[in-house]
């Protein structure tokens, strides 16, 4: 083990046990190496893993179990057989399939495995007060089903009100299902979940059925369900950046205003979002939920909407492919908002190319950090962007957490995807894409206000950064693939 035996022998003084441990670790390293070769997506990452497994099998085997292993073949099969193709055919039969918009954005439609659906109304929800008023009003309207999933749920004032709203509907005979992420809700008390269950709410953790994942930790620690969705009666859907907790209402004494964006859609797109929830629920519990499909499917407005779920079970790097496609088609403006801006080489190249062809490329990031290591890495990436013509804005009126992209006057995306490797390749995420002029205009106006409340990073400011800060940020940047 290239010198590793010495300190291991201090931990395991019995020579026989130590030898058995070492040989077992070599065997596990060999199995992991074969797995990496067979499941490799990028040669650079795989070569790094393989070299580490060969040269330093311990503790690389532990790190690989946490960050390298994937056990999502079952989820991929579930997606194949969950009815997406039937939904595509059914959409055409009832005239909710928007063929022109799907043809204009074929990559997004193929990534989503779902078409743009016509007949929707969409409402942009800015910050926590507007978002949770809309969500709570929606829950109170539910007559048959409430499907809910959040990455983080707090047992605080907002979290308890949220629970009370779900309990009221469950006791009124509505089928209520709540799905939470094991990592994001690690500190959520059992009493909170027990209260919901005793009131008739079905509650599940995303990985609760997959014991080997809970033991080894690859999805429990690394692969997370980062989606935030609420779905009512198959008619309305909410998604965006907000979780359930007081800080998302701007009540944190550390962050102050929590600048975030959610969106509510009513119409056929809500059915596509519900399909994503049902796939997640089946993975988590093994239970197949009966679709709540209104008849006739309601037409709520004139807007086409595409629901794009992505995650580590995808056969390709679907989320990255979709965002690269949208960025590559920008002609006039490309505005990106993300609290965690840690782009990989492909994304950096796409942004540089857009700036070189004269596109107004702006990236809005927070001035305040909530995850310091990611914040440091984003500083390094921002510095490089500024040197290549990309405008970096830092939001100064609180903490920025929204995930929004706007391209020209053609398309806008609102959802849960951060501009980093974790969202593009590791987490389960969801994005709603809009092409109607009403939503495009509202997103543009919203971002204009956000840029006005921000500070533009200059090359002079970048050059004047302390050497220690630049060193730390560049060091953090090296961890970009796992941040």
Report how far residue 139's alpha carbon sits from residue 428's, in angstroms, rounded to the nearest whole number.
Answer: 24
Q: Give the per-residue pLDDT at 217.
A: 45
Q: Give the per-residue pLDDT at 405.
A: 98
Percent of the chain with pLDDT over 70: 85
For residues 260 and 402, is the Cβ–Cβ distance under 8 A?
A: yes
Which of the pair, 35 or 395, is modelled with greater confidence? 395
Which of the pair, 458 or 442, is modelled with greater confidence? 442
Candidate from 18-32, 239-253, 341-355, 383-397 with smallest mean pLDDT: 18-32
Question: Could you read off the pLDDT of 73-88 as tens digits, one per residue?
Answer: 555 555 554 555 545 5
Q: Give the per-residue pLDDT at 310.
A: 94
Task: Name the band, by pLDDT with cuts 50, 70 and 90, for residue 370.
Answer: confident
Nearest residue to 306 (alpha-carbon basis) of 81, 118, 439: 118
193 in catalytic set: no
For residues 408 and 333, is the Cβ–Cβ distance under 8 A?
A: yes
Question: Could you read off the pLDDT of 122-181 as tens digits, one per residue?
Answer: 999 999 999 999 999 999 999 999 999 999 999 999 999 999 999 999 999 999 999 999
Residue 156: C-alpha distances to residues 48, 248, 362, 400, 473 (Å): 43, 11, 36, 21, 34
* 260 backbone dihedrals φ, ψ, rounded to 5°: -145, 165
233 in catalytic set: yes
409 in catalytic set: no
Q: Which of 260, 401, 420, 450 is catalytic?
A: 401
Question: Could you read off the pLDDT of 212-270 as tens digits, one per residue?
Answer: 544 444 445 677 899 999 999 999 999 999 999 999 999 999 898 999 999 999 999 99
Winning range, highest mean pLDDT, from 31-40, 298-307, 374-383, 405-414:
405-414
Report how far residue 418's alpha carbon sits from residue 424's, in angstroms, rounded to the nearest whole number.
Answer: 8
Mean of per-residue pLDDT scores for the chain: 86
Q: Which residues 6+ apart lie within 8 Å of 86 measured at CB? A: none
436 in catalytic set: no
Q: If you average pLDDT over residues 399-416, what whole number do you get?
A: 98
Q: Give the per-residue pLDDT at 481.
A: 63
Q: Which of 210, 403, 420, 450 is catalytic?
A: 403
Candidate from 31-35, 137-141, 201-205 with smallest mean pLDDT: 31-35
Task: Name the band, by pLDDT with cuts 50, 70 and 90, for residue 376.
Answer: confident
Report how far residue 326's alpha carbon sits from residue 412's, in angstroms, rounded to the nearest whole number.
Answer: 9
For residues 176 and 169, is the Cβ–Cβ distance under 8 A?
A: yes
Q: Give the per-residue pLDDT at 480.
A: 62
The pTM (predicted TM-score) of the whole model is: 0.86
280 in catalytic set: no
Q: Which of 226, 262, 381, 436 is catalytic?
A: 226
Candidate from 277-286, 297-306, 448-457, 461-470 with smallest mean pLDDT: 461-470
For residues 142 and 233, is the Cβ–Cβ distance under 8 A?
A: yes
For residues 440 and 409, is the Cβ–Cβ distance under 8 A?
A: yes
Q: Please count the other Cβ atoms lying within 10 Å of the Cβ belonging to residue 263.
A: 26
Residue with tokens 């499941």: 39
Q: Give the per-residue pLDDT at 216.
A: 47
| Residues forming beta bridges with residue 366, ordered by sequence position | 395
Q: Give the per-residue pLDDT at 81.
A: 46
Question: Could you read off the pLDDT of 135-150 as tens digits, one per residue?
Answer: 999 999 999 999 999 9
Q: Which residues 6+ apart lie within 8 Å of 18 measured at CB? A: 5, 8, 9, 12
Task: Name the band, by pLDDT with cuts 50, 70 and 90, for residue 9.
Answer: low
Percent of the chain with pLDDT over 90: 58
Q: Which of 5, 346, 408, 409 is catalytic?
A: 408
Q: Which of 155, 233, 280, 318 is catalytic?
A: 233
Q: Which of 228, 235, 262, 381 is catalytic?
A: 228
Question: Could you read off the pLDDT of 88-134 as tens digits, one per residue?
Answer: 545 454 568 898 999 999 999 999 988 999 999 999 999 999 999 99
Report how far residue 333's alpha carbon sits from residue 358's, in angstroms, rounded to the nearest whole number.
Answer: 9
Report how far residue 360's alpha carbon sits from residue 390's, in angstroms, rounded to the nearest whole number.
Answer: 8
């Amino acid at each position: 083990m290239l010198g590793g035996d010495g300190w291991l022998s201090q931990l395991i003084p019995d020579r026989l046990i130590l030898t058995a441990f070492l040989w077992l670790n070599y065997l596990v390293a060999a199995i992991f190496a074969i797995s990496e070769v067979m499941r490799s997506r990028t040669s650079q990452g795989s070569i790094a893993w393989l070299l580490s497994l060969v040269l330093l099998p311990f503790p690389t085997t532990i790190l690989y179990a946490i960050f390298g292993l994937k056990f999502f073949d079952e989820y991929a099969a579930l997606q194949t057989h969950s009815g997406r193709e039937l939904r595509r055919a059914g959409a055409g039969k009832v005239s909710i399939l928007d063929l022109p918009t799907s043809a204009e954005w074929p990559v997004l439609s193929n990534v989503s495995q779902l078409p743009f659906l016509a007949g929707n109304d969409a409402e942009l929800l800015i910050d926590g007060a507007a978002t949770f008023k809309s969500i709570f009003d929606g829950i109170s309207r539910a007559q048959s089903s409430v499907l809910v999933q959040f990455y983080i749920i707090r047992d605080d004032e907002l979290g308890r009100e949220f629970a009370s709203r779900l309990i009221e509907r469950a006791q009124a005979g509505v089928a209520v299902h709540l799905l939470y992420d094991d990592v994001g809700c690690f500190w959520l008390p059992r009493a909170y979940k027990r209260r919901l269950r005793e009131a008739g709410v079905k509650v599940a953790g995303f990985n609760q059925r997959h014991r080997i994942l809970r033991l080894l930790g690859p999805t429990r620690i690394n692969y997370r369900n980062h989606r935030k969705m609420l779905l009512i009666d198959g008619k309305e859907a909410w998604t965006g950046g907000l979780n359930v907790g007081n800080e998302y209402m701007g009540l944190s004494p550390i962050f102050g205003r929590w600048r975030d964006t959610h969106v509510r859609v009513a119409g056929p797109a809500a059915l596509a979002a519900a399909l994503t929830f049902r796939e997640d629920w089946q993975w988590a519990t093994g239970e197949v939920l009966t679709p709540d499909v209104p008849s006739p499917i309601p037409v709520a407005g004139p807007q086409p909407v595409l629901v794009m779920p992505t995650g580590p079970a995808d056969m390709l790097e679907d989320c990255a492919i979709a965002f690269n496609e949208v960025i590559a088609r920008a002609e006039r403006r490309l505005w990106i908002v993300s609290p965690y801006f840690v782009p990989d080489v492909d994304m950096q190249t796409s942004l540089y190319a857009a700036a070189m062809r004269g596109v107004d490329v702006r990236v809005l990031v927070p001035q305040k950090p909530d995850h310091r290591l990611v914040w440091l890495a984003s500083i390094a990436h921002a510095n490089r962007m500024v040197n290549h013509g990309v405008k970096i804005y830092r939001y100064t009126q609180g903490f920025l957490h929204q995930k929004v992209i706007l391209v020209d006057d053609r398309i806008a995306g609102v959802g849960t995807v951060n501009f980093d490797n974790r969202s593009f390749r590791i987490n389960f995420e969801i994005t709603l894409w809009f092409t109607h002029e009403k939503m495009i205009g509202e997103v543009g106006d919203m971002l204009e206000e956000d840029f006005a409340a921000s500070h533009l990073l200059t090359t002079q400011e970048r050059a004047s950064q302390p050497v220690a800060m630049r060193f730390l940020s560049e060091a953090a940047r090296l961890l970009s693939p796992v941040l």
